[in-house]
Amino acid sequence: MLNNTTPPTFAGDPIARGKRCKMGKMNYSKAPSFGYCASQGTYYYGYKLHALCGLNGVIHSYDLTKACVHDINYLQDVKMEYHDCSIFGDRGYIGKEVQLDLFETANIKLECPYRLNQKEWKPLFIPFAKARKRIETVFSQLSDQFMLIRNYAKETKGLFARIIGKISAFTILQYINKSNNNPIGRVKYALS
């Protein structure tokens, strides 16, 4: 399952804070940028987290990009690492050309839900909806319980280290749940 979330580095007015931000000024390729989150209908300043997650909710790979980078660019990394599989993506990964390229180069079948205004719209397949809900839950847990969106790093390296630390802690709690025969998704209660 493939998803993205938008962890901005600053709260408040993104335009005002973005212009004053000193993070990444020495290295433009790693600097945050302005982006738009369609699901929340807001502009933000920061980075975008892309993640590939298994059906059980364990994150297998992830990437942090500038907010202005389109979601489809992450699929170039995916087709180099994975092959002969099916991936369920969110609406940010819709594109017939992209799906065909993934299938031809790495035999990856990319499934994305249709938008309501698409000509071939059909209701969401129930097992697909359950798989999408699982990854949305993973991102909600990272956002709410691990406060992935709230970061007060002053340097880009510090921000990246904090994101890696939070994802690693989340994965360790999932492992503790699995080893104790508890539901893997209840990371809040792993240490009790």
Q: What CATH number did the domain enclosing 24 receive?
A: 3.30.420
Cα→Cα distances 97→36, 102, 110, 163, Å: 23, 9, 11, 32
Comparison of pLDDT for 11 and 50, the residue scoring more: 50
Contact between 49 and 7 (Cβ < 8 Å)? yes
Q: Is the dihedral of CA 95, 92, 62, 137 positive or negative?
A: negative
Token pair listed for 158: 């510090």
Q: Which residues of 102-112 are buried (b: 16+ CB within 10 A; e: fewer)?
A: beeebebebbb
Q: Is the dihedral of CA 11, 40, 25, 151 positive or negative?
A: positive
Comparison of pLDDT for 71 and 172, the residue scoring more: 172
The dihedral over CA atoms of 21, 22, 27, 31, expressed in degrees to the nearest 10, equals -20
Give the global pTM.
0.80
Domain range for 57 is 2-189
Phi first, then psi: what are they for 65, rounded to 5°?
A: -125, 170
Secondary structure letter of residue 30 according to DSSP: G
Helical H segments across 70-155, by residue range = 74-81, 96-106, 126-144
| pLDDT at residue 6 greater than cutoff 70 | no
Q: For the chain, how many residues are written?
A: 192
Closest CA to 9 of 117, 165, 160, 172: 160
Q: What is the pLDDT of residues 106-116, one digit of tens each?
A: 898 888 777 77
Total domains present in the chain: 1
Contact between 32 and 46 (Cβ < 8 Å)? yes
- Mean pLDDT calculated for residue range 165-189: 91
What is the predicted pLDDT for the residue at 9? 45
